[in-house]
A and B are shown apart, each in its own frame.
Chain A
Amino acid sequence: MTAVTDALALACTAAGLLAVALEGMTGGRWRAGLMFGLDLWVAAALLRLSGAPDLRAVAAAAAVITARRLVEVRRLGG
């Protein structure tokens, strides 16, 4: 199951990168693209936490969630 969830997580990560690139290049709305990309990267981090995750997966999930929270706070603040 880990191989499947890893492949799904990779797909989510790639989709996040595409979302950021699409929004940044077509409309210059980098922040909106980044917000949606971070949501997809959170999905990837959660998929990697499935099964019996190692400490690296836990640390990566915590880092993505913190980054997403910081961008969200900055967006609401300004």
Chain B
Amino acid sequence: MPFSCVLPLHYLGVSVSAVEGFFSEATVRAIVDVLVRLVEAAGAIVIFAGASIGFVRFVAVAVRTRSAGAFVPLRLELGRYLALGLEFQLAGDILRTAIAPTFVEIGQLAAVAAIRTALNFFLAREIAEQRAELERDSSAT
């Protein structure tokens, strides 16, 4: 349906062809591509920041303490960062489905999204298990 039927653009002084040009398939594809890159970059930054912070804290704890249980809070925090980064990557996958033109690309996208969703599920479960372990330890002491 043409935009002129949906929106009274001529009242706003906007050219109908300019609006239709802006929403052309190529423009939408370019915009979504930029958004996907931004969202995936955000996910990569979150994951790498979590890994860096976790590693620095791991070294500090490894030098100071002799208990293996001291690493549980560190793993919990790193798991949270990974889960957040995964959410960003899943958002990128969802955005990419808007411009995936072939069945092969959609199939690859589905495989990656399935892996990310499974990992997100396991991470959420492990975070819950580690939190329960921490609470057990703190109530025992």
Contacts and interface: CB of A to CB of B under 8 A. Distances in A.
Interface residues of B, number: 37
Nearest to A53: B112
A22 interface: yes
A64 to B, nearest CB: 10
Contacts of A11: 48
A1 B54 contact: no
B3 to A, nearest CB: 32
B51 A65 contact: no
Interface residues of A, number: 38
A12 B115 contact: no
Contact of B62 (A27, A40, A55): A27
A61 B113 CA distance: 12
B89 A46 contact: yes
Chain A contact surface mostly: helix
A62 interface: yes
A31 B68 contact: yes
A58 B75 contact: no
A19 B115 contact: no
A1 B41 contact: yes
Interface of B: 37, 40-41, 43-44, 47-48, 50-52, 54-55, 58-59, 62-63, 66, 68, 71, 74-75, 78-79, 82, 85-86, 89, 108, 111-112, 115-116, 118-119, 122, 126, 129
Given A22-B59, A58-B112, A61-B119, 15 more contacts: A5-B44, A8-B48, A15-B55, A19-B55, A19-B62, A26-B62, A35-B71, A36-B78, A39-B79, A39-B82, A40-B78, A42-B119, A52-B108, A55-B108, A65-B119
